[in-house]
A and B are shown apart, each in its own frame.
Chain A
Amino acid sequence: GQSLEQPSEVTAVEGAIVQINCTYQTSGFYGLSWYQQHDGGAPTFLSYNALDGLEETGRFSSFLSRSDSYGYLLLQELQMKDSASYFCAVRAPGGKLIFGQGTELSVKP
């Protein structure tokens, strides 16, 4: 089976840096994805890591360590609009995504 663990809530201030961790246990693993979801909205794709290391896309970066079954999403220069839920998701055999429970990020002024 698959299970993913991520913190339920994180709070940070505008302009700060925040890291959202994700650990996973899966029977098959092709990569780790991150999605953002605003209240009442749909999940939107942020990043995908298939190999170990850091991937940077603007203010957001994502890291993966396959040997540790661990990844994180790093958000820099936080803005109020970054307040949302962030989900890690394992890409399993067949291409399906298994999602974690999500981390609710609150950015304070």
Chain B
Amino acid sequence: DAGVIQSPRHEVTEMGQEVTLRCKPISGHNSLFWYRQTMMRGLELLIYFNNNVPIDDSGMPEDRFSAKMPNASFSTLKIQPSEPRDSAVYFCASSSTGNYGYTFGSGTRLTVV
């Protein structure tokens, strides 16, 4: 298996622009998680899906953030408009029922200037 695939690996954008991060979970995994990592706040859970349904989005910082999972093999995290404080590494992870370990993607390093 190719693992969890995220794109792009790096994104540099100007403040105010829309940013879309993409994630392909491991085939057969039914849970998908979006995390953000910064030095100050560590690994924060933004939102997670079970069987493509959003379960808990309480970690989404603001209405500027939105996430979708239109099918079992694809999810997006969108920031519109982006701000410099959104600069972070965004990780997607997936797992399956009964499997206690998450598999993380390589992350997207976002820089908003």
Contact = CB atoms under 8 A, between A and B. Distances in A.
B105 A96 contact: no
A45 B56 contact: no
B105 A42 contact: yes
User: For this complex, into which size category does the number of interface residues on chain A fall?
Assistant: 20 to 34
Contact of A45 (B43, B50, B103, B106): B103
A48 B102 CA distance: 11
Contacts of A79: none
A96 B104 contact: no
Interface residues on B, range: 20 to 34
Interface string B85-108: 000000101010000111111110
Contacts of B56: 94, 96
B100 A31 contact: yes
A44 interface: yes
A43 interface: yes
Contacts, number: 49
A45 B21 CA distance: 23
Given A95-B50, A96-B55, 13 more contacts: A33-B101, A35-B102, A48-B100, A50-B100, A91-B100, A94-B55, A94-B56, A95-B31, A96-B56, A97-B102, A99-B42, A99-B43, A99-B45
28 contacts: A33-B100, A33-B101, A41-B106, A42-B104, A42-B105, A42-B106, A42-B107, A43-B43, A43-B93, A43-B104, A45-B103, A48-B101, A50-B100, A87-B43, A91-B100, A95-B31, A95-B50, A96-B55, A96-B56, A97-B33, A97-B45, A97-B102, A98-B45, A99-B35, A99-B43, A100-B42, A101-B42, A102-B43
